[in-house]
Amino acid sequence: MTRSVHTRIDGHILEITLDNPKANAIGAATSREMNDAFEMFHEDANLRVAILTGAGDRFFCTGWDLNEGAEAEPDRDYGRWGFGGLSRNFDLEKPVIMAINGYCVAGGFELALAGDILVASRNAVFFLSEVNVGLTTGVPSVPRLLSRLPRSVALEMLFTGRRMDAQEAFDLRLVSRLTPDGKVMDVARDIARDIAAAAPLSVRAEKQMVNMAGDLPPQEAARLDSQGRFTMVSRVLESEDAKEGARAFVAKCPPVWKGR
């Protein structure tokens, strides 16, 4: 059977490409393939950052495969971490960059919202079409959307399925970079290389703090810190890399990170 998910490793960077013609929709089998890819990313200490994109130049991902949904008994096993390997992957401590190269629709948009850094080509279009096909947005995606967009805009998208083009997404800071068509992976790779060059334990600690405290009041985050809940922070401060960073700074030379 032809695989719908391709992976490529470049140093410390994992590239995951969704390749399911014609519109990069995700059925249960494809979702499980994506779970496998993110499982590898989670487990491999050599991998520091991932990029997810769609094959071709028209579709990032159009969400759940409605052809599968029309079956009498659709396969609902989307894998350990839910739809697309990310929708319920709440504890991943490595960054994921979304390279959005076209239509980013419904579950595809929800998948993008589960990422950390969103980069979009100018032909990208974002919308949540669930209310127009008798479905609902996945529950974890609602707070993600509300945290990334002004509330009124987010609610209009949820309730009407209205579309947002790439320029508006950039203006509202949904995406951090806007690229010419065909260049989104170049920009995503540049960002990934910068992340991969940073101290890996430090990046993981930052991601853990985002996961656990990103939506908390500062005093609540400080309370968790005083309880030792941010385990990666303590690990960083006691690491060989912390000593290496100081040594390299004093010596005015590039650090050599060991991830320990």
Inside any domain, residue 130: yes
258 is a domain residue: no
Both 109 and 231 in a single domain? no
Instruction: Using pLDDT thresholds of 50, 70 and 90, give the confidence band for residue 77.
Output: confident
Q: Are residues 243 and 217 in the same domain?
A: yes
Residue 192 lies in a domain: yes
Q: Which of the pair, 82 or 222, is modelled with greater confidence?
A: 222
What average pLDDT does the chain have?
93
Identify the pLDDT of residue 52: 99
What is the rounded CA–CA span in Å between residue 62 and residue 200? 33
Cβ within 8 Å of residue 92, ≥6 positions away: 38, 41, 42, 86, 207, 211
Within this chain, do residues 137 and 244 fall inside the same structural domain, yes or no?
Answer: no
> Same domain, yes or no, for 65 and 128?
yes
Each residue of 105-132: pLDDT tens digit?
999 999 999 999 999 999 999 999 999 9
Do residue 83 and residue 162 come from a single domain?
Answer: yes
Beta bridge partners of 104: 61, 126
CATH number of 168's domain = 3.90.226.10
69 or 253: which leads in pLDDT: 253
For 2-49, write each residue's pLDDT tens digit.
689 999 999 999 999 999 988 999 999 999 999 999 999 999 999 999
Q: Mean pLDDT across the stretch 191-203?
A: 97
- Based on the domain organization, do 186 and 143 belong to the same domain? yes
Active site residue 220: no
The owner of tokens 């990934």 is 192
Residue 188 shares a structural domain with residue 206: no
Whether residue 99 is contained in a domain is answered as yes
Whether residue 247 is contained in a domain is answered as yes
- Please check whether residues 206 and 191 belong to one and the same domain: no
**In whole angstroms, what is the distance from residue 242 CA to residue 154 CA?**
41
The Cα–Cα gap between 179 and 98 comes to 13
Report if residue 244 sits inside a domain. yes
Examine the fold and report which residue of 152, 172, 196 is the final residue of a domain before the chain moves on.
196
Give yes or no: residues 146 and 220 share one domain. Answer: no
Domain-terminating residue out of 196, 211, 239:
196
Separation CA 202–CA 255 (nearest Å): 13
Strands 103-105 and 96-100: unpaired
Number of domains the chain contains:
2
Burial class (CB in 10 A: 0-12, 13-18, 19+), 38: buried
260 occurs within a structural domain? no
Are residues 165 and 189 both part of a single domain?
Answer: yes
- Does position 1 have pLDDT exceeding 90, yes or no? no
Domain boundary among 180, 196, 212: 196
How high is the pLDDT of residue 67? 78
Q: Which of 33, 93, 110, 206 is catalytic?
A: 110
Are 192 and 207 part of one and the same domain? no
pLDDT bucket at 168, cuts 50 / 70 / 90: very high
Question: Within a domain: residue 89?
Answer: yes
Range of the domain at 243: 199-251
Q: Judge contact between 70 and 90, C-beta under 8 A.
A: no
SS3 string, the chain, reads CCCCEEEEEECCEEEEEECCCCCCCECHHHHHHHHHHHHHHHHCCCCCEEEEEECCCCEEECCECHHHHCCCCCCCCCCCCCHHHCCCCCCCCCCEEEEECCEEECHHHHHHHCCCEEEEECCCEEECCHHHCCCCCCCCHHHHHHHHCCHHHHHHHHHHCCCEEHHHHHHCCCCCEEECCCCHHHHHHHHHHHHHHCCHHHHHHHHHHHHHHCCCCHHHHHHHHHCCCCHHHHHHHCCHHHHHHHHHHHHCCCCCCCCC
77, 81, 138: which is closest to 106 by C-alpha? 138
Q: Do 108 and 10 share a structural domain?
A: yes
pTM equals: 0.94
- How far apart are the C-alpha atoms of 112 and 124, rounded to whole Å? 12
